[in-house]
Amino acid sequence: DIYRIPIEGTIDLGLPPFIERTIKEAEKKGVSTIIFEINTFGGRVDAATQIKDAILKTDLLTVAFINRRAISAGALISLSCEKIYMTGGGLIGAATAVDMSGKKGSEKVISFMREEMASTAEKRGRNKKIARGMVDEELNFTYLFVNGDSIQVDDIEGRKEGKLISLTTEQAIKYNIADGRAENLNELLDN
C-alpha cells in the first residue's frame, strides 16, 4: 500500500528516470502513498527540478521523510511533497545554486532557483519567503504570516541579509515548512 523511495547521497541525472519509473509503477499498483526518505547534501538543480515535476504530477499522496538532512536540491524535492516529516536534529535549506567548483551561480541561475523554490512552496501551501530565503541571502524579513497569523521571527539566522535560511526540525514545524516529527518509518506511519 506504501512505496518507500530513498534519496541519499548526491542528486545526479541518473535519479530522475528512476523516480519517474517508480512513481509510475506505484500508480499502476494502486498504492496510496509514496514516502521519499531523504538524506542528502544536494546535487544538480536540473535533476532536482525533474524530480520535483514528477512528484507534483502524481495524484498519489507524497511524503518527504527527511532522515537527517535535505540540503540544496534536497530541499526542493522535499517542498514538492504534500507532507514533510523530519527526524529530530534534522535540517532543511541552504539551497543556493553553486557551480562545480562551489562558487555561487549567476543571478540568472539564482533567480530561477529562488522562484522554483517559492512556486513549489506556494503549490503545497508553505511559506514562500522562507523558501526564497533558502536560496537568496540578500533577502531579509522580520515578520511572517503562518496559518493566518503574523509572527515576529527572531530565531531564524537566515532571515538577516547576508545569510541563507536553513531550518532545524523544530523551526520547520513552527514555520509550517514541515508537518511533524518522526524518528523512523514506523513512527512516520503512525502519523
Tens-level pLDDT at each residue, the chain (191 residues) = 899 999 999 999 999 999 999 999 999 999 999 999 999 999 999 999 999 999 999 999 999 999 999 999 999 999 999 999 999 999 999 998 887 777 888 888 889 999 999 999 999 999 999 999 999 988 888 888 888 888 888 888 878 878 899 999 999 999 999 999 999 999 999 88
Q: Report the pLDDT value the prediction gives residue 55, as an integer from 0 to 100.
A: 98
**Cα 170 from Cα 28, distance rounded (Å):** 36
91: its cell numbers: 535540517
pLDDT at 114: 93
Q: Using DSSP, state whether 167 is helix, strand or coil.
A: strand
Residue with cell 542528486: 11
Cβ neighbourhood burial of 141 (10 Å; 0-12, 13-18, 19+): middle
CB within 8 A of 121, min separation 6: which ones?
A: 79, 127, 128, 130, 131, 177
